[in-house]
Amino acid sequence: MVEPQAIRVAHLMRRPLPGYFSIEGQFELVRRFLPPRCHCETWICPEFSRGVFPRLRNARAAARVSADVWHVTGDVHYLTYHLPKARTLLTVHDCVFLHQTSGLRRWLIKKMLYDWAVPRAAIVTVISQATRRELLSLLPEVEPRIRHVPCCVSPEFTADPARPWPRTPEVLMVGTKPNKNLVRMVRALAGLRCSLHIVGEPDGDLRAALAASNLPWRNSPSLTAQGMAQAFRDCDLLAFASTYEGFGLPILEAQATGRPVLTSDAASMPEASGGAAVLVNPLDVASIAAGFRRLIEDAGLRSELIERGHANAALHAAPRVAQMYADIYDELNQA
């Protein structure tokens, strides 16, 4: 059997804004577990992805990167403009930009990030079937080139024995951006015996909801990877009833740790959970409250979700996902 030849792979990355490191963390993991034949180097955009001209300058700068295969890792889709199409891979994480903008700005972002950029890649990977559906609603002609490569979970998140269920369980909530839906989740918990650990900085609306709920809470404005893994070990369940996600990585992190999950029946989250979570309507406080009561009161349900969650997390192990990318690099290198 002929061994695949060595490949020089360029990971083309955005210049991250403060607090935006999810893509960086994912591809750091992928690089750690790529097979030795994949010699991967990281290139970071010289400018933040804001406005037309910084994006065009980033695209021109990317054209000078030398490699056998170019992988645009997300958010900066427009880097494909001047790359060799036959050897370019683009990863699309979500279409959130189109949900956050309107009018002329939305039209321009759609053109620059999707209409003009996506067709310039030989292969397009999506991290969820939900993202696939959204992308195809915009560009149905790219369907033959789309592959599904999911997010991966870090080995930092290892199975931790469930503690005896406490009288006051700790509910972990990750992220405080509007789509994370924390105000509704806090309102849903009012009257239930629990405490909260919020990762992120609460805004005024969230602080008001917390004050009205009378729930004990603490927050960690930011955590290292090790600190985040410890937060999952310290909690009793994860609440992640977000209104929109391209994937929903905290679901996997909780499952890998052995913690039951409450999440949304919307977007990519049912898929990410692998059927091993309590699903709720994220826009309905009563639905969220009912889900919390089920998790808090039903020990058998918690045990079942933990067991099934471990199996789902194993499907997203970093070495497995890295091999999926390596196989695509091999395919493109033969173009």
| Tens digits of residue pLDDT in 259-282 | 999 999 998 999 999 999 999 999
The pLDDT of residue 245 is above 80 = yes
**Computed from CA positions of residues 86, 113, 27, 232, in that sequence, does the dihedral angle turn out positive or negative?**
negative
Edge-to-edge strand order for the sheet containing 217-220? 217-220, 195-199, 170-174, 237-240, 261-264, 278-280
The pLDDT of residue 1 is above 60 = no
The pLDDT of residue 101 is above 90 = no
pLDDT in tens, 160-202: 887 789 999 999 999 999 999 999 999 999 999 999 999 999 9
pLDDT mean over 220-224: 90
Nearest to 164 by CA among 215, 236, 216: 236
Q: What angle separates helix 182-189 from helix 204-213, to the nearest 10 degrees?
A: 0
Instruction: Specify the pLDDT at position 2.
Output: 52
Q: What is the H or E stretch that residue 229 is in? A: helix 225-234
Nearest to 109 by CA among 90, 126, 96, 125: 96
- Domain(s) of CATH 3.40.50.2000: residues in the chain: 7-152+317-333, 170-314
Instruction: Output DSSP code: residue 153.
Output: B
pLDDT mean over 7-15: 97
Instruction: Specify the pLDDT at position 3.
Output: 63
Predicted model pTM: 0.91
User: In sequence order, which residues have a C-beta less than 8 Å from that of residue 317 and are 6 or more positions away?
Assistant: 152, 153, 155
Count CA within 13 A, CB hemisphere, residue 82: 12
Instruction: Specify the pLDDT at position 224.
Output: 87
In three-state secondary structure terms, 214 is coil
β-pair type (146-148, 170-174): unpaired
- Please tell me the distance from the alpha carbon of residue 7 to that of residue 84, in angstroms, as a whole number: 15
**Side chain identity at residue 306, one-letter code:** I
Q: Domain 7-152+317-333 sits in which CATH superfamily?
A: Glycogen Phosphorylase B; (3.40.50.2000)
How many CB atoms neighbour CB 260 within 10 A? 27
Q: Which class would CATH give 170-314?
A: alpha beta
pLDDT mean over 90-115: 92
